[in-house]
Amino acid sequence: MAINYRTYLLLLAAVLTVPFSARANTGQYTVTILGRVQHNYPNSMFYAACVNDNDVVAGSATVRVPDNFTQPIRGVIWNSSTRYTILGTISEDNGFDSEATWINKSGTAVGTSIENTSHGFVTVPVIFTPTGIIDLGVKNAGSGNAVCINNNGQVVGNLDFNNGTISAEAFLYQNGVMTLLGYPLPSLGYSQATAINNNGLIVGAAIFTTGQQAHPASYTNGAWVDLPSGLTGSGEATSVNDSGIIVGTWGADYFIYQNGKFAKLNAPRSSLAGPPSINNAGQIVVGNFIYQNGAWQDINDLDLGDGWTFLEAFGINNQGAIIGLMLRPEGNLERYALLTPVSSNTQPPSGTP
C-alpha cells in the first residue's frame, strides 16, 4: 500500500523523532527500525510504502535539499547497505516535490512528482531511475500518479479527469507507451488500478452500473471484470499475487477472490487496518495480523524487542518480509519498520482463508 500525501501529513503531526535505525533479532524476525533520512534533521522521518523481494523499501520523507529551501517531501529509497537515497523531482514546490509508492525486484521505483506547467503545478506519474525521472505524462487529464510496477517493468496508475463524464481512469505504461484502460460505464467513467502482478493481471476498482458504487475489479483481456457481481456495496481490490489470488476491501470487511469465487477474508479486526496485501506464498497481512500456516496470528504475539508494538502492515514481499508502522509507548514514538524472517529462504506452508 502506498501512503498518499494527505495520510502522510496526518501521521507527521503525531510523530516524535530520534536519530537511530535500530536492528534486533527476535527469533522469527529481524526487526529493523527505520529512522531519520537525514541524521541532523529531526523532521526527516522515513514513511515507508512498499518493500521489494530484495528487502529494499520505497517511501518518502521531508528532507533538506539544496534545490528547494522549503524542505519538501521527496521520494526516498532505503536498503541495508546504502541506507537512504533521496530521489529527485521534475519541479519544486512548497511542501511536496515527489514520493515513491512502489519498487520492483530490480530496484526501479514509481510514484508521483510535481510538475510546473502552463496551468500551474500538477502531480504526474513518474518512474525513478538512477539517471533521472521519466515523466509518464497525463494525456488530457488534470493530474495522475503511478501506483505499482511489476518485475517486467509494466507500470499501472491512474489519471484524474473530473470533467463531468470521466472522473478517473486507470492506465498501463509499458515499452514507453501509456494505454488508458477505459471503464465499464461510459456515462460515469471511473476505473482505478491499485496493483499489477508479474503476469500482467491488473486489479483495482470500477463502476459497472448506474447508481452503483465502485466495485472491486480486475482488468484482463482488454476488459474490466466485476469481482463481486450482483452484490451491493463498495470496495476495491488492493493486492494480487502471481497465482491470481486477489484480496481487498469490501465495505467494512475484507475479501479474498480465488478460483472465480468472492468471499469474506474473515480477518481479525485491528485498531489500525489499511488494505490487505498478499504474497506468492499465500501469506496475507492486514492491520497487525498475518495469515500463514492456515491461521491468523497477531504479529504482536512475537517478541519484537525493546518494547515495540506493531500497529499496521503496509505490505509483505515474497520472502515474507513485512513493512509496517510500529509504536514504542515509552515516549510515544512511532517508526516504520522492516520485519525480515530469520530464515528468509524458507517459505512457510500456507493455504488461503
Read off φ and ψ for residue 8, nearest 5 degrees. -55, -45
Is residue 300 classed as helix, strand or coil in its secondary structure?
helix
Question: What are 213's three cell numbers?
Answer: 458504487
How far is 158 from 177, CA to CA, in rounded Å? 14
Q: Which CATH architecture describes the domain 5-19+43-282?
A: 7 Propeller (2.130)
**What pLDDT is recorded for position 85?**
95
Question: What are 95's three cell numbers?
Answer: 511542501
**What pLDDT is recorded for position 348?**
39
- Residues with Cβ within 8 Å of 291's Cβ and at least 6 positions away in sequence, in order, are 267, 282, 283, 284, 285, 297, 350, 352, 353
Residues 236-250 as b or e (16 or more Cβ within 10 Å = b) = bbbbbbeebbbbbbb
Q: Are 182 and 137 in contact (CB under 8 A)?
A: no
Using CA atoms, how far residue 223 sits from 104, 154, 182, 341, in Å, is 25, 17, 8, 38
**What pLDDT is recorded for position 305?**
67
**What pLDDT is recorded for position 87?**
95
If you write DSSP's letter for every residue of 150-171 in order, what string do you get? -TT--EEEEEE--SSSEEEEEE
Going residue by residue through the chain, which has 353 residues, state the pLDDT in tens, using 9 for 90 and above.
Answer: 344 433 333 333 333 222 334 454 445 888 999 989 998 898 899 999 999 999 999 999 999 888 777 788 999 999 998 899 999 999 988 789 999 999 999 999 999 999 988 778 899 999 999 888 999 999 989 999 999 999 999 999 999 997 767 899 999 999 999 999 999 998 889 999 999 999 999 999 999 998 889 999 999 999 999 998 777 789 999 999 999 999 999 988 899 999 999 999 888 887 677 899 999 999 999 999 999 988 999 999 876 767 789 999 999 999 999 999 999 877 788 999 999 998 644 443 333 34
pTM comes to: 0.88
Using CA atoms, how far residue 49 sits from 59, 96, 160, 174, in Å, is 5, 16, 22, 22
- Residues with Cβ within 8 Å of 180's Cβ and at least 6 positions away in sequence, in order, are 139, 159, 169, 170, 171
**What pLDDT is recorded for position 20?**
34
Name the CA radius of gyration of the chain, rounded. 20
Domain ranges within the chain, ordered by starting residue: 5-19+43-282
Q: Report the length, in residues, of the chain.
A: 353
**What pLDDT is recorded for position 3?**
40
Q: Are 192 and 202 in contact (CB under 8 A)?
A: no
**What pLDDT is recorded for position 302?**
78
CB atoms closer than 10 angstroms to residue 166: 20
Question: What are 123's three cell numbers?
Answer: 502531480
**What pLDDT is recorded for position 180?**
97
Q: Are 126 and 141 in contact (CB under 8 A)?
A: no
Using CA atoms, how far residue 275 sits from 1, 15, 73, 139, 278, in Å, is 7, 22, 24, 29, 10
* DSSP bridge pairs for 178: 173
**What pLDDT is recorded for position 67?**
72
> What region does 27 belong to: left with phi over 0, alpha with psi -120 to 50, or beta?
left
Taking CA 326 as the corner, what is the angle to CA 322 and CA 330, rounded to the nearest 5 degrees? 155
